[in-house]
Amino acid sequence: YPKNDLDNTLFIELSPEYLPRKYQTKAPQILSRFGEQDGRRIDISSMLRDDLLNIKLDEVQTVDRRDQFSLFVPKHHRAANKLLEIFLGLKSVDDLMAFAAYARERVNPALFAYAYSAALLHRPDTKNLMLPPVSEIFPHNFVDAQTIAEAKESADILSSPSDRVAIEIPQDLTGNDRDMEHRLAYFREDLGINLHHWHWHLVYPLDGPTAVVTKDRRGELFYYMHHQVLARYNVERMCNGLDMVKRLEWDEAIEEAYFPMLNSDVSGRDWPSRPANLRLTDINRPDLQLSFSIDDLKRYEERIYEAIHRKVALDANGQNIELLNEQGIDVLGNMVEASILTPNADYYGNLHNMGHSAIAYIHDPKFQYIQSAAVMSETMTAMRDPVFYRWHKVIDQLFVEHKHTLTPYTAEELTFGGIQVTGLEVCSYNDQQICRQDRNVLQTYFMRSDIDMSRGLDFTPRGPILVRVTHLSHDEYAFTIRVNNTTGRRVIGTVRIFIAPVVNNKRLPTTLAEQKTLMIELDRFAAELSPGASTIVRRSIDSGVTIPFKQIFRDLNANRPDDDSYREFDSFNYCGCGWPHHMLLPKGSRGGFDMELFVMISDYSQDKVQGNGEPALGECKTGMIICGLKDKFYPDRKPMGYPFDRAIRTGVNTLQNFMTPNMFSVPVRIMHDDQVRLGQVLADQSVSIKDLNQD
Ligand code: CUO
C-alpha cells in the first residue's frame, strides 16, 4: 500500500512470471536491485490466481507502452477506462495489488498511473489510502532532464544523507527576460499548481464508469476551477506588467512559444517544443485514431454559443434542455469539456478536449515525423505552456456568456437582513509571528525548498535525490471582520472573501465589470454571528481554496518557525486536490500592487446543503472551494463564484455601488520582496548546475 513516509515504503516483490516474457529469464537480476534498506517487502506471487491471469488487457494495450498518454484523446481514455473498470471490479485489495503489479509492466506507464490512482480514489476499500504526489511518480514531468541527471550523479557519489546536496533548478530554466512571457514561468511551472491540476482531473474524470464520473456539480466545477485559474493568471500578469491573456484565435499564428526542457519518462524522448507562430491545422493522426478539422471545432463553438443565446440546448433526441436555471451551468460545463455527461456529443462535440489535442499535436498534425504529444496533452504538464491560458480563455468566454444571460442579482437578493459588516482588516505576520504595523499590507517573496525525487527514479545505490525549487510564498495573515447582528438571535453566515486589482493593466480605474472577471476567491466558510457586535478572525492557513505547503514539499525535517501551524494531512487522496498554499496570493510588486479586499456574508440557512451530514472527524476539507468534498454534495448551494458570477445589475459601475450592508471592502497592497528566502530544506547545501559545470 502506498505509505506516506519513505521508511515504511512497502516493496512488492515480483516472481519472474509476473513480468512480460522478454524479461523473465533476466528476472532474478532485475529483482536483486531491492536492497535491505528498502523497507518492508511482501511476495505477492501466491496471490496471482488463474482467474486474474485470464483478465484480458488487449484493449488497454491498444495504447503503446511508449506512447505519450493523453486523457484528451478518446482512444487513450477508452483504454484507460477499461483498466480502471478492471481495477474497480476486483474483489479484494489483495487481488487489486496482485493484478496491478502484473499489469504495471504490460501497459503504458502514464495510463497505468492514471487508472490505478483513480481506482484507489474510488474503491470503497482503498479510498482512504494516501496517494503520493504524482511528481514523485513522474519526476521527469516536473523537473528538467539536466537537473535530474546532475541530482542522480550527486546521489550516486554522495549517498550518505549527511553529505546530501540539492541541485538547484534555475529560475530561468525555460527562457530568459528577452521573452516577456517568461516573467510568468514561476506560476506556470510551479510544482503545486501542476499537481493540483493533475489531481483535479483525477477526481473528476471526463469518462469512466458512471459512478466515477457522476459527481455533484462536476460540470460547474470544471467551469469554476478553470475560471479561477484564469483570474489568478491574469492578476499575476498584471503584477508583472503584462496585458491580460488574449483568447486563442482560430486563424492566427500563436505568438507565444514554449520549450519545456523536460524529458518524458514514458516515451523516453524530450517533450516536443512548440516554436513561435505556429497555426492550428487539421489533425489527422492514424496512430491515435484521431482526425478532426479546425472547422469542426469552430462549428462546435458556434453551436454552443447558439444554445447559450437560445437559452436551451438540444439533447441527443432533439428535446430541449433549459439552460436558464441552476443546473444550466452544469449542463454547459459537461457539454464544453466534454465529459460523458454531455447532453449531445454528436452535435456539440468535444470542444475543450479536442482543442487541447489540436495544440498538443500542432508540431506534427499529420504524423509525418512520428512525434508524440506536447505538454498540452497531459494534465500534469499542460499548465506550463502559455497557450494553456489562451485556450482556456476561449472556453471561459462561453461560460461567462451564459452567466450574462441570467438575470443579475438585485440588491435585495444580495442583502442579509439584520446583518451588517462594519469593518474588515488584514494583518500580515512576520517570521516572529508578530502582526505588521502597517495594516492591510501583504508580503510575498520567493523561497527555495527541496523535494526528494528518489521514489520516482530507479537507480542504485538508493539514497535521496534532492532538487531545490524556487517558488513564490507569502507571510501568513489573518482577516478580522467586524459584524453587527441586529436580528436579536444567533445566526450563521457564509463568509465569502475575494480580492481583485484596483487598476487595470493600463493603470486606469477598473469598472466593476472588468474587476469581476479578476476576482480571486481567497476563502469561504461558515461563521456564527451572535446578537450585537462581534468579530470574526480567520487565518490564511485555514483557507478553503488551498492545500498545505507540506503536502507538496513532503519534508521530513521541516524547520520553519511556524511549522506547527501547518495543517497535518490525513487522507491525502482528496486533499491532493487544492490550490498550493504558497500560491494563495498574487506576487504583487516591489513598489506595491494595489488590490481591493472584499467580504460578503450571506445567509447560511439559504446556502446550507442538505444531506451532507456532520463533517466526520479528520475529514479532508482542504481545497473544497475548487475541489468539492469527497462523496458529498458541493458544500454551498449558491452558484460557484457568487456574487460575482453573473452580470452586474444596471446602474452599478463600481464595487462601492455594488455593496449592500452585509458587504465590506478595503484597499490592500501586496508588496514583493526580491530577496529569496530559504524554505523547507533537506540538504545543508545546494549547488547550481552552472557551478557544477564550471567544476
Ligand atoms: Cu484542466 Cu483544459 O482542463 O485542462
Q: Is 160 exposed, middle or buried (0-12, 13-18, 19+ CB in 10 A)?
A: exposed
Would the pLDDT of 260 be above 70? yes
Question: Which pLDDT tens digit goes with each residue over 326-361?
Answer: 999 999 999 999 999 999 999 999 999 999 999 999
Give the β-pairing of 663-678 and 593-603: antiparallel
Q: What is the ipTM of this complex?
A: 0.99
Would the pLDDT of 80 be above 70? yes
The residue to mutate among 70, 226, 248, having the most atoms of ligand 1 within 8 angstroms of its beta carbon, is 226
State which ligand 1 atom lies nearest to the alpha carbon of 226: 1
> What local confidence, expressed as pLDDT, does residue 465 receive?
77
Q: Is 371 exposed, middle or buried (0-12, 13-18, 19+ CB in 10 A)?
A: middle
Question: Which pLDDT tens digit goes with each residue over 589-644?
Answer: 999 999 999 999 999 999 998 887 765 544 556 789 999 988 789 989 999 999 99
Would the pLDDT of 30 be above 80? no
Q: How large is the average pLDDT for residues 59-83? A: 94
State which ligand 1 atom lies nearest to the alpha carbon of 379: 4
> What local confidence, expressed as pLDDT, does residue 100 receive?
92
Would the pLDDT of 405 be above 60? yes
Would the pLDDT of 567 be above 60? no
Q: How large is the average pLDDT for residues 37-52? A: 68
Compute the distance between CA of residue 431 and CA of residue 437 in angstroms, rounded to an integer.
Answer: 14
Question: Do residues 467 and 143 make contact, with C-beta atoms less than 8 angstroms apart?
Answer: yes
Ligand 1 centre distance from Cα of residue 197 (Å): 8
The residue to mutate among 202, 247, 392, 396, having the most atoms of ligand 1 within 8 angstroms of its beta carbon, is 392
Question: Which pLDDT tens digit goes with each residue over 96-144?
Answer: 988 998 898 899 999 999 999 999 988 999 887 777 778 878 888 888 8
Which residues are known catalytic residues?
Answer: 337
Give the CA diameter of the chain: 80
Ligand 1 centre distance from Cα of residue 355 (Å): 10
Q: Is 662 exposed, middle or buried (0-12, 13-18, 19+ CB in 10 A)?
A: buried
Compute the distance between CA of residue 345 and CA of residue 113 in angstroms, rounded to an integer.
Answer: 27
> What local confidence, expressed as pLDDT, does residue 657 receive?
96
Q: Is 128 exposed, middle or buried (0-12, 13-18, 19+ CB in 10 A)?
A: middle
Would the pLDDT of 161 be above 70? no
- Full 3-state SS string of 382-449: HHHCHHHHHHHHHHHHHHHHHHCCCCCCCHHHHCCCCEEEEEEEEEEECCCCCECCCCCEEEEEEEEE
> From the CB of residue 509, how many other CB atoms can be counted at a distance below 10 Å?
11
pLDDT category at 364 given cuts 50, 70, 90 is: very high
Ligand 1 centre distance from Cα of residue 281 (Å): 20
Question: 329 or 463, which is more confident?
Answer: 329
Q: How large is the average pLDDT for residues 381-408? A: 98
Ligand 1 proximal residues by C-beta, below 6 Å: 197, 201, 226, 352, 356, 379, 382, 392
State which ligand 1 atom lies nearest to the alpha carbon of 382: 4
Question: Which pLDDT tens digit goes with each residue over 191-223?
Answer: 999 999 999 999 999 998 888 899 999 999 999
Ligand 1 centre distance from Cα of residue 358 (Å): 13
* Averaged pLDDT of the chain: 87
Ligand 1 centre distance from Cα of residue 333 (Å): 12
List the alpha helices (DSSP H) in 204-278.
210-213, 218-239
Q: Whose CA is closest to atom 4 on ligand 1?
A: 379
State which ligand 1 atom lies nearest to the alpha carbon of 392: 2
Amino acid (one-letter) located at 473: S
> What local confidence, expressed as pLDDT, does residue 600 receive?
98
Q: How large is the average pLDDT for residues 19-32? A: 63
Q: How large is the average pLDDT for residues 147-166? A: 72
Question: Which pLDDT tens digit goes with each residue over 246-259?
Answer: 999 999 999 999 99
State which ligand 1 atom lies nearest to the alpha carbon of 229: 1
Gyration radius (Cα) of the chain, Å:
25
Report the percent of the chain where pLDDT is more than 70.
85
State which ligand 1 atom lies nearest to the alpha carbon of 225: 1
Ligand 1 centre distance from Cα of residue 379 (Å): 7
Ligand 1 centre distance from Cα of residue 692 (Å): 37
Question: 154 or 695, which is more confident?
Answer: 154
pLDDT category at 566 given cuts 50, 70, 90 is: very low
Q: How large is the average pLDDT for residues 276-302? A: 97
Would the pLDDT of 680 be above 90? no
Residue 21 grid cell: 516474457
Ligand 1 centre distance from Cα of residue 137 (Å): 21
The residue to mutate among 339, 353, 379, having the most atoms of ligand 1 within 8 angstroms of its beta carbon, is 379
Ligand 1 centre distance from Cα of residue 188 (Å): 13
> What local confidence, expressed as pLDDT, does residue 627 receive?
92
State which ligand 1 atom lies nearest to the alpha carbon of 353: 2
